[in-house]
Amino acid sequence: MKYCSKCGAQLADDDDYCFFCGAKFDEVKKEEQKEQPTFQDQSYYEDKYYGQRPNTVALLGFVFSFISPIVGLILSIIGLNKARQMNGLGKGYSIAGIIISIVSMILSVLLYTYLISVYGTEGVLA
Ligand SMILES: [Zn+2]
Protein backbone atom coordinates (compact mmCIF):
# COMPACT_ATOMS: atom_id res chain seq x y z
CA MET A 1 0.00 0.00 0.00
CA LYS A 2 1.27 3.46 -0.88
CA TYR A 3 -0.07 6.98 -0.49
CA CYS A 4 -0.15 10.00 -2.75
CA SER A 5 2.02 12.67 -1.16
CA LYS A 6 0.09 15.43 -2.91
CA CYS A 7 -3.43 14.62 -1.73
CA GLY A 8 -2.89 11.70 0.70
CA ALA A 9 -5.10 9.28 -1.24
CA GLN A 10 -4.54 5.59 -0.65
CA LEU A 11 -3.26 3.96 -3.84
CA ALA A 12 -2.75 0.40 -4.92
CA ASP A 13 0.88 -0.64 -5.28
CA ASP A 14 0.62 -1.01 -9.03
CA ASP A 15 -1.11 2.35 -9.66
CA ASP A 16 0.87 4.63 -11.95
CA TYR A 17 -1.27 7.70 -11.34
CA CYS A 18 -3.15 9.01 -8.35
CA PHE A 19 -6.83 8.65 -9.24
CA PHE A 20 -7.74 11.64 -7.06
CA CYS A 21 -5.36 14.40 -8.11
CA GLY A 22 -3.74 12.79 -11.15
CA ALA A 23 -0.17 13.01 -9.85
CA LYS A 24 2.09 10.51 -11.56
CA PHE A 25 3.25 7.99 -9.02
CA ASP A 26 6.91 8.12 -10.02
CA GLU A 27 6.96 11.78 -9.00
CA VAL A 28 4.98 11.03 -5.89
CA LYS A 29 7.41 8.33 -4.90
CA LYS A 30 10.42 10.58 -5.43
CA GLU A 31 8.87 13.31 -3.29
CA GLU A 32 8.14 10.80 -0.56
CA GLN A 33 11.73 9.65 -0.47
CA LYS A 34 12.97 13.21 -0.53
CA GLU A 35 10.91 14.98 2.10
CA GLN A 36 8.18 12.83 3.61
CA PRO A 37 8.72 10.80 6.76
CA THR A 38 8.47 7.03 6.44
CA PHE A 39 5.01 5.57 6.58
CA GLN A 40 5.96 3.53 9.59
CA ASP A 41 6.01 6.84 11.44
CA GLN A 42 2.60 6.73 13.12
CA SER A 43 2.72 10.33 14.34
CA TYR A 44 2.99 11.51 10.74
CA TYR A 45 -0.42 9.98 10.00
CA GLU A 46 -1.93 11.37 13.17
CA ASP A 47 -0.73 14.82 12.15
CA LYS A 48 -1.92 14.47 8.62
CA TYR A 49 -5.34 12.97 9.18
CA TYR A 50 -6.35 14.01 12.68
CA GLY A 51 -4.11 16.97 13.48
CA GLN A 52 -6.24 19.34 11.43
CA ARG A 53 -9.24 19.00 13.72
CA PRO A 54 -9.06 21.44 16.61
CA ASN A 55 -8.99 20.10 20.13
CA THR A 56 -12.26 21.88 21.00
CA VAL A 57 -12.50 20.55 24.55
CA ALA A 58 -9.06 21.93 25.38
CA LEU A 59 -10.00 25.35 24.02
CA LEU A 60 -13.31 25.34 25.90
CA GLY A 61 -11.50 24.32 29.09
CA PHE A 62 -9.12 27.24 28.65
CA VAL A 63 -12.00 29.71 28.12
CA PHE A 64 -14.10 28.33 30.99
CA SER A 65 -11.14 28.46 33.39
CA PHE A 66 -11.70 32.24 33.42
CA ILE A 67 -15.51 32.04 33.68
CA SER A 68 -16.15 29.00 35.83
CA PRO A 69 -12.98 27.39 37.28
CA ILE A 70 -14.67 24.06 38.14
CA VAL A 71 -16.10 23.61 34.63
CA GLY A 72 -12.80 24.84 33.18
CA LEU A 73 -10.81 22.33 35.25
CA ILE A 74 -13.00 19.38 34.18
CA LEU A 75 -12.92 20.38 30.49
CA SER A 76 -9.16 20.98 30.62
CA ILE A 77 -8.52 17.52 32.09
CA ILE A 78 -10.68 15.95 29.36
CA GLY A 79 -8.87 18.16 26.82
CA LEU A 80 -5.48 16.98 28.10
CA ASN A 81 -6.52 13.34 27.62
CA LYS A 82 -7.71 14.19 24.11
CA ALA A 83 -4.44 16.00 23.42
CA ARG A 84 -2.57 12.76 24.17
CA GLN A 85 -4.68 10.96 21.57
CA MET A 86 -4.28 13.85 19.13
CA ASN A 87 -0.49 13.93 19.11
CA GLY A 88 -0.26 16.75 21.66
CA LEU A 89 -2.73 19.05 19.94
CA GLY A 90 -4.23 21.54 22.41
CA LYS A 91 -1.93 20.33 25.20
CA GLY A 92 -0.76 23.86 25.96
CA TYR A 93 -4.34 25.12 26.28
CA SER A 94 -5.28 22.18 28.51
CA ILE A 95 -2.35 22.71 30.87
CA ALA A 96 -2.96 26.48 30.93
CA GLY A 97 -6.66 25.81 31.59
CA ILE A 98 -5.87 23.47 34.48
CA ILE A 99 -3.41 25.92 36.04
CA ILE A 100 -5.72 28.93 35.64
CA SER A 101 -8.67 26.95 37.06
CA ILE A 102 -6.71 25.83 40.11
CA VAL A 103 -5.28 29.32 40.70
CA SER A 104 -8.78 30.83 40.35
CA MET A 105 -10.19 28.37 42.87
CA ILE A 106 -7.37 29.06 45.34
CA LEU A 107 -7.87 32.81 44.89
CA SER A 108 -11.64 32.52 45.47
CA VAL A 109 -11.03 30.48 48.63
CA LEU A 110 -8.48 33.04 49.82
CA LEU A 111 -10.83 35.92 48.98
CA TYR A 112 -13.70 34.18 50.73
CA THR A 113 -11.51 33.47 53.76
CA TYR A 114 -10.36 37.08 53.77
CA LEU A 115 -13.93 38.41 53.55
CA ILE A 116 -15.01 36.14 56.42
CA SER A 117 -12.06 37.28 58.53
CA VAL A 118 -12.95 40.92 57.89
CA TYR A 119 -16.74 40.89 57.92
CA GLY A 120 -17.46 37.59 59.72
CA THR A 121 -19.62 34.75 58.41
CA GLU A 122 -22.85 36.70 58.80
CA GLY A 123 -21.54 39.68 56.89
CA VAL A 124 -20.49 37.54 53.91
CA LEU A 125 -23.51 35.25 53.78
CA ALA A 126 -26.07 37.97 54.42
ZN1 LIG B 1 -3.14 12.48 -5.27
What's the 76 CA to ligand 1 centre distance in angstroms? 37
Mean pLDDT, rounded, for 1-21: 82
Quickly state the pLDDT bin for 83 (edges 50, 70, 90).
Answer: very high
Are 75 and 94 a contacting pair, CB within 8 Å? no
- Spacing, Cα 3 to ligand 1 middle (Å): 8
* CA distances for 1 relative to 15, 39, 90, angstroms: 10, 10, 31
What is the reported pTM? 0.51
pLDDT in tens, 86-124: 888 899 999 999 999 999 999 999 998 998 888 887 766
| pLDDT of 51 | 47
Residue 94 Cα to ligand 1 middle (Å): 35
CA of 86 to the centre of ligand 1 (A): 24
Q: How far is the CA of 8 from the centre of ligand 1 (A)?
A: 6
17 CA distance to ligand 1 centroid (A)? 8
Delimit the domains of the chain by residue range. 2-36, 56-125
Q: If you measure from the C-alpha of residue 18 to the centroid of ligand 1, how many angstroms do you get, rounded to a whole number? A: 5
Residues 52-82 pLDDT 10s: 577 899 999 999 999 999 999 999 999 999 9
